[in-house]
Amino acid sequence: MDCRDRVRHWIIENGLIGRGDRITAAVSGGPDSMAMLSILHQLSAELGFSLSAAYLDHRIRKGTRREKRIVEIWCGRFGIPLVAGEADVPALARREKTGLEEAAREARYRFLDGFEKVALGHNSDDQVETVLHHIIRGTGLRGLAGMPVMRGRYIRPVLCCTGAELKAYCRAGGIAYAIDRSNSDTAFLRNRIRHRLLPAVRRDFNPAVDEALLRLAGNAREGLAALSDGIADLVPAGAADGSVTLDASLARGLSEHRLYLLIDTVLRDRLGVFRDIGRTHFNAVAGLIRAGRSGKRTTLPHGVRVTVEHGSVRFE
């Protein structure tokens, strides 16, 4: 099965795209996103969705003019509308007192927030690196599950293909792409995992470690889905001001792990907070809920406040 057919099967199997959907491909000019752009273009008529593209210049390094030009040329050839933007990521990193990687990720999500459904070009190699990164950093079941195939408006249609397969697809189709030299910079932990740790593990411990980590992620996703059964039913729709209020007595009746999943569901699915929430933050919120003392409050990253009020727990 070639990449195109595998992606088609992956999209249908995981319900990533429905007829009438308006999909925006987040394209960097690299081989993964260029292959994704081409594959989605080929599948759009068959699966009944419209396709546009979005490109963001992060202003981190030289060479982005060529990347943007590649994207413009191929969007023109495919007849795909393109929205281009730019963000001063180094300035954002200084202002937010964070690293370039985190600032770039934040800038991308801000740029893509206005689109209806966004296709991201992560491949299965990225998934392997993500799971191993989470293990090294310390993680729970959600971290072991790796990147979700679909989360909110974001979908990953080429997560079923390796980076080598996507490059081969581009070469076979004569599709130009750019190489981001920063992906070789081992100052970044992810690149050290890619270029040092994984090759050493493949060579000295398990040549099939990639498959092993992908199986682990799949098993973790299945376990997470089973443990999360019914959790979404406990989370009401948000209020007009965006806040979410839970029944504190129902929350207190949950096991520790299901309470963790409930808090996580509110933060991720209702408030859109996916990052910077650690075990100490979950413990603080769980402690408030368990104690049940009205008027008590804790503040989480990204300005989220959690308050216990007269038998309810308010997230805002």
The first and second tokens of residue 164, run together, are 């080598």
* Residue 109 CB neighbour total at 10 angstroms: 15
- Would you say domain 232-315 falls under CATH 3.40.50.1110? no
The domains of the chain are located at: 3-121+156-184, 232-315
HSE value, Cβ hemisphere, 13 Å, CA-based, for 220 = 19
Cα–Cα dist 304/18, whole Å? 33
Same fold, 3-121+156-184 and 232-315: no
**What residues contact residue 294 under an 8 Å CB cut-off, 6+ apart?**
308, 309, 310, 311
Lookup result for tokens 């392997």 = 128
Q: Which helix (H) or strand (E) holds 56?
A: strand 50-57
**What residues contact residue 202 under an 8 Å CB cut-off, 6+ apart?**
209, 210
The CATH T-level fold of domain 3-121+156-184 is: Rossmann fold (3.40.50)
User: 3-class SS at 22?
Assistant: strand
Query: What is the DSSP-derived secondary structure letter of residue 193?
Result: I
- Ranges of the chain whose pLDDT falls below 50: none
Cα–Cα dist 9/284, whole Å? 43
Q: Which helix (H) or strand (E) holds 34?
A: helix 31-47
Lookup result for tokens 């929430």 = 277
Distances (CA, A) of 242 to 71, 144, 316: 36, 30, 7
- Predicted model pTM: 0.87
Distances (CA, A) of 235 to 125, 202, 241: 34, 43, 16
Q: Rounded to 5 degrees, what are φ and ψ at 150? A: -145, 135
